Chains A and B, each alone.
Chain A
Amino acid sequence: MEKNEKTSLAVQLQTPAKRMFWMEWRGRSITYISVWIVILVLLSLLWFITSKGLQPFLNGEVTLSQFFSSNWNPQDNKFGSLYIMLGSFMVTICATIISAPLGISAAVFMTEIAPKWGKKVLQPTTEILVGIPSVVYGFIGLTLLVPFIGKFVGGVGFGLLAGTLVLSIMILPTIISISVDAIESVPQKYREGSYALGATRWQTIWRIVLKTALPGLMTAVVLGMARAFGEALAVQMVIGNVPNAPFDFFTSISTLTSMITQNMGNTVPSETFNQILWSMGLVLLLITLVFILLIRFITRRRDA
């Protein structure tokens, strides 16, 4: 085997330099072209959404203060989207408050407490959770969760609570899998050192493992939040889609994504309503960008 490789390398070395040049050139050009396509697509996407999203403000059809007010009434050309944006934030934050402790605890169980059994059972479970399409989550939420809340908890069932619960299950696998990676990357010698000093397993987990893995765990949480923020379909089915103030768990609320998916098809591109939907898309993009910058910031601190 080794001999074979040597001879093929020798043959390669013996071939004329021109051929080597072409081989190099080919590989390099393929990767270069791919990179440029990706960059170009990204830049044109950014440019497109930004220019479309700024249009209603540049045209003077809607002012920024109107856009960030709470007066939403498209029939009267009132496009105050404050409660819609807050709706997106509220569902995201509430879902994260539920999922983050659950997800990180599950990750600890899978890596520290019962690595073999935990991985055998929990790993496939999270993978299945990732594989379920969001419309299925939404449909289950609509069929089971919403009537349940309406009957036993309060309100009609649609609203912040239903959206929060559906989303928290959806982002759980993201948080678990990234947390597992973060905890596994904590060097074994830290644990051994901790045990050598007489610490119990829980003390080791709490004070050494989780503390060392903290940047990775935060990345997991932020990525989960980003997924929750961008989710449209499942949320749309259970939150009721009325832009009320999102501070009550049992009233219908609306989010940026659900507003866009509901109205994009029915509006005409030159309409103000349609342009405002692009502005909402721009807000979504900017906030996702903030999430990404946050992750970069967190991971940079770890490297330092």
Chain B
Amino acid sequence: MKIKKRILASGIIGLAFSSILVACSSGANDENNKQLTGTLTSVGSTAMQPFVEEASKSFMASNPGVQINVQGGGSGQGLTATVNDTADLGNSDIFAEEKEKIDASKLIDHKAFVVGIAPVVHPQVGVTNLTQQQLIDIFTGKVKNWKEVGGKDQAIVLVNRSESSGTRATFAKFALKDNQEFRGNGAIVEDSSGTVRKIIGQTKGAIGYLAFSYIDNTVKALTLDGVQPTNENVTTNKWLVWAYEHIYTNTNGKNKQLEDAFLKYILSPEIQNGLVKKLNYIPIIDMKVERDASGKLK
């Protein structure tokens, strides 16, 4: 009995060692061999997670030697992990330059796709269009009732994302012209897009903002100054409220061959016209304008 246990234990230890050895040897890329092998770790934005997961699944299917681990954690975690080299790919909703304490010079930006964000309301507020000034007045708390902007006599309920959210930052920057959102009486803050949609759908007089991909028939997207929140209008910057979704890599070049292969796959027409469109995002290759970290058009 005891001897058996000992054999089992040594077997387990041996197995662990050999698997470590295998992992090490597979991490080193053999340049002569065209078959890609190795492991990539992808950390960050929960909004991007479904996309990255799908893309890595199909990437792994065509490259059986590659293992990609996709984790959430949030944009901040993604950027930090990539700077510290604990992750190969850092997914972020915002530019690394927008985070003060992140050393952006250590990172290479790869824009994966674009997401449009629209103000959405409860279907029965009686408003379909707002001017940007009206939107700012609503979100800064100056306008408190829908009748003041041509809707029903219904108190406005603001639904915001949490202070550190990338979607909130984008919305504040481009839809509210950097005005601060009102957080007083009756306002609600929620973390996830799904919860925000649910709250707006069930709360009378509610207004919030969602990525295009989250908008369904339980809520109503508003036009802004008469511009429709559509993918086409985003590509020409007619619709102002949009953001890049970034995949960052470290400048140290570790795991470069694998990273490059995966990023090339992300930017390939197969993914851009397939998965990106399927998830209702905007392919980066369709964009007719380019924006830098400060929000200026290039």
Contact = CB atoms under 8 A, between A and B. Distances in A.
Given A147-B202, A156-B203, A263 B162 contact: yes
A166 interface: no
A277 B75 CA distance: 16
Interface in B61-103: 72-77, 79-80, 99-102
A149 to B, nearest CB: 11
A268 B80 contact: yes
Nearest to B203: A156
A252 B186 contact: yes
Contacts of A157: 203
A254 to B, nearest CB: 8
Interface string A269-297: 11101100000000000000000000000
Given A237-B195, A241-B190, A156 B157 contact: yes
Contacts of B253: none
B163 A74 contact: yes
Interface string B213-239: 000000000000000000000000000
B183 interface: yes
Tell me the interface secondary structure of chain A in the complex. loop
Contacts of A270: 101
A75 interface: yes
A242 interface: yes
Interface residues of B, number: 35
B195 A241 contact: no
A240 B187 contact: yes
A251 B76 contact: no
A236 interface: yes
Interface in B142-199: 157, 162-166, 180, 183-191, 195, 198-199
A273 B204 CA distance: 33
State which size class the interface on A falls in: 35 or more
B165 to A, nearest CB: 6
B90 to A, nearest CB: 11
Contacts of A267: 74, 76, 164
A158 to B, nearest CB: 5
Contact of B191 (A156, A243, A261): A261
Nearest to A240: B188
Contacts of B46: 265
B185 A266 contact: no
Interface string A228-261: 0000000011001111100000011010000001
Interface of A: 73-75, 142-143, 146-147, 150, 155-158, 236-237, 240-244, 251-252, 254, 261-271, 273-274
Given A75-B180, A269-B76, 18 more contacts: A75-B163, A143-B202, A146-B202, A147-B202, A147-B203, A158-B188, A158-B199, A242-B183, A242-B188, A244-B184, A251-B185, A265-B73, A266-B75, A266-B76, A267-B76, A268-B76, A268-B102, A271-B76
25 contacts: A74-B164, A142-B195, A142-B199, A146-B202, A147-B202, A147-B203, A150-B203, A156-B188, A156-B203, A240-B188, A242-B189, A251-B185, A252-B189, A261-B191, A265-B72, A265-B75, A265-B76, A265-B77, A265-B164, A266-B74, A268-B79, A268-B99, A269-B101, A270-B101, A273-B163
